[in-house]
Amino acid sequence: MGRLRRSRTHKAQRDVHRASRTRARKRDLDQIQLYDLRPAARAALERQPLDIEKPGLAQHYCVECARYFESDAALQTHWRSKLHKRRCKKLREPAYTIEEAEWAAGLGRELSKPKTGFSNEPLGATH
């Protein structure tokens, strides 16, 4: 009849190790927002000189995803893909600032409390 057990039982662990590798690390969203999406930097990235070390001689580059492609057809297909559209949607959101990160961790000082329509005083209470 044959074996019924799956051959790879530690797949999830392997994927975690692959995701944590730094040798093929892509640029983070905040780096792309701050540097690469500026018009001058974008033009430089889209018109790179020939480089034999990079895929497609560095002529087919997606700025939003920070990826090189072998051909123009592959780049056009990538632009229509869900991965590219999701990445563009994330890039439209503003990047977190250092102050927001410190405030979320409880380290920053709170300048003003959020305004809500509710108060902590009971109804009918007067001063």
Contacts of 26 (CB under 8 A, 6+ apart): 65, 66, 67
Give me the torsion for CA of 86, 89, 91, 92, rounded to 10°. Answer: 180
CA 49 to centroid of chain Cα atoms: 26
User: When comparing pLDDT for 83 and 10, which is higher?
Assistant: 83
Amino acid 17: pLDDT:
75
pLDDT at 76: 97
Higher pLDDT residue, 16 or 114?
16
Q: What is the mean pLDDT of residues 108-127?
A: 56
Whether this prediction's pTM lies above 0.85 is answered by no
Q: Quick one: average pLDDT of 13-24?
A: 72
